[in-house]
A and B are shown apart, each in its own frame.
Chain A
C-alpha cells in the first residue's frame, strides 16, 4: 500500500500524463481534420479532372462533359481586378502609416484597417451591390473586382506597413545623408528593402480573395455565357463550385469536386509558397 506522499506523487504523475495525452489528442484532431478535408478533396477531385475541364466551357445543367475554362479565367480576371484596385490603396496607405503618420493618427488608422478586415465578406458583397450593381442596373466583373479589392486592401496595407517598419532606421539615415529627397529615399531605398514582405502580403491577399465566394454572389453573379467583358457578369471557380454543389445532378456534383481540386491547389499552393519563402528569408 502506498503511503500518502507516494499516493500524491502518483496522482500528480497521472494527471500530468493525462493532460499530455489530451492536449496531444487535441492537436492530432486539428491536424487530422485538415488531412481529411484536403485529402478527400484532392483524391476525389483529381478523379474528375481531365483536359476538358481546363479547356472547355461549361455545359448546361446536368450534361456530362464540359469544362471550367471560363470560370478559371473568371477567377484570374477577378483577382487581377481586385489587385488593380487594392494595391495602390493598400501599399500607399502602408507607406503613409510607416513613414509619415504621427503615432496617434497611425494607431487610429490601423484600427480602422483592422475593423475593415473583420467585416464579413458577405457584407462587403452587399455593400458593393448597393454602390455599384444597383446604380449600374447590372451585375459585372468590375463590381466583383471591387468587392474583392475591399477585402484585400486592409491585408495589403497592414503587411506593407509592417514590412516597412522592419527596415532599420540606419538605412533611412544613410539614404538621407546622401542628399536625396525624402520621397526618393522611401521609394528608392526603404521600399526595395521591404519588398519581400510587401510581396508576401500581396500574395497572401491574392490567396484569400481567389477563394472568396460570398462577395461575388451579388456582384459578379456568375455567368453561363463565359467572359463577356468587364461590365457583364462573370463566373469564378468558387461560384461554380457553389452552384454545382447544390445541383441535384451527379455530373454537376462531380464538376464541383473537380473545381474544388483546382481551387484548393491554387489557394494552398500560393499560401505554402509564400510561407516557405518568408521562412527562408528569416533563416
Chain B
C-alpha cells in the first residue's frame, strides 16, 4: 500500500467545504497514510475547460503538473476533478510537450473511494455512522472513472450504517458547473427530481463522492426543507464511535 499520499483539494472544497478535505485527511491517516498538502495548488482548470476556455484552462493544467510533479500518489475527494486530471488533461495538453507527463500523472491520481478500495485494498476504514443513508452515483465518477461499487463497498463496511437504494441513483442531480447558473430552471428541475427520489427512500442522509453534486443537492434539499441532509462519503468514513 502506498504510504505517502499527496492531497489534491478541489478549489471549491478548499473554499466552501473544507470539512470534506479535513475528513479525507482523517480517513487517510487512520489507514496509515502519510498525507501532505502541496500548498501551491489552486484549481485543476475544469471550470474553464468545461466552458470552452481551453487556452485559459491550459495554464492551470500545466501548473498542476508542476505542483504534483514529485507526488507518488495523488488522492482527491472528487470524482469530477479526478476526471479532469486523468481523462481531460491528455486532451487539453494534446499538442503540448507535457502530454506524456499528463498521462502518467493521471495514472497516479485517484478519487478517494477508488484509492481506498482499488489501491490501498481497504473497505473497512473503521468508521461508525448509525444512520440511514442513500447513495447517489455522481456522473463523472460513474461514467468517466467507472466507479460503481467502490463507494458502496466502503459504505457497507461502516458500522451501524443502513444503506437504502435510491431510485434512478445514476441520474444526474443537475449541477453541471456553470450549467447550474446558466440554465437555472433546468438545473433546479433536475435537482428537484433527485430530491423527490431521495425523499422516497426516507433516508436521513444522501451521500456521494462528489462535493459539487452534494452542494447542489443540499441547496435543493435545504430550500425544500427536506429531512435528508447531503454528506460527503469522506465525512461518513471519518466518523468514529
Tell me, yes or no, whether A binds B.
Answer: no
Give the B-binding residues of A (Cβ under 8 A). none
Residues of chain B whose beta carbon lies under 8 Å from any beta carbon of chain A: none
